[in-house]
Amino acid sequence: MPKITECDRCLLFAHNPHLVCAVHPEGPKGNSCLDFRADPNTEPIELWEPEGASYYDGKLILQPQQRFTTEEKLELLDTHPLFTGVCPECGYRFPKDNLPAVHWDCPECGWVDDSV
């Protein structure tokens, strides 16, 4: 019998292996139930997430490994030509009407964008 995670915390839950509840004997259709009534006597759900993971739509999703630390990300924001429009080495100003799509290599001093 299909039931959703809220069923165990609902006042209408039957606590019976053959019956989900009085309103939806075979379980609610879909991922939510309009008839859900919170049972004040049930324990609250612990919203604990392991580090490096998050819950999305009730499923635990592992986050990809971070390539840069927070400090390195802030440094990129302060100095990278993508955000400043200026070469961090020589101060060359990239033309605003013809910006590079991927690599921001400087044509003046030869600075190479190795951040990707």
pLDDT in tens, 59-105: 888 888 778 888 988 998 999 998 999 999 999 999 888 888 788 89
Question: What is the distance of C-alpha 1 from the center of its chain?
Answer: 31
Distance between CA atoms of residues 28 and 69, nearest Å: 44
Number of domains in the chain: 2
Q: Is residue 56 part of a domain?
A: no
The H or E element spanning position 61 is: strand 59-62
Collect contacts of 5-8 with beta carbons under 8 A, ≥24 apart: 5/45, 5/58, 6/32, 6/33, 6/36, 7/33, 8/42
Contact 51, 43 (CB under 8 A): no
Q: Is residue 73 part of a domain?
A: yes
The H or E element spanning position 84 is: helix 81-84
Q: Kindly compute the dihedral angle of the four CA atoms of residues 101, 107, 113, 116, in this order, to the nearest 10 degrees.
A: 30
Q: Is residue 28 part of a domain?
A: yes
Whether 40 and 77 map to the same domain: the answer is no
Q: What is the pLDDT of residue 84?
A: 92
Whether 36 and 73 map to the same domain: the answer is no
pLDDT in tens, 31-45: 888 898 888 887 766
Range of the domain at 6: 1-45
Closest listed residue to residue 103, CA positions, set 87, 90, 88, 114? 114
Whether 74 and 110 map to the same domain: the answer is yes
Q: Is residue 53 part of a domain?
A: no
Whether 70 and 116 map to the same domain: the answer is yes
pTM (two decimals): 0.43
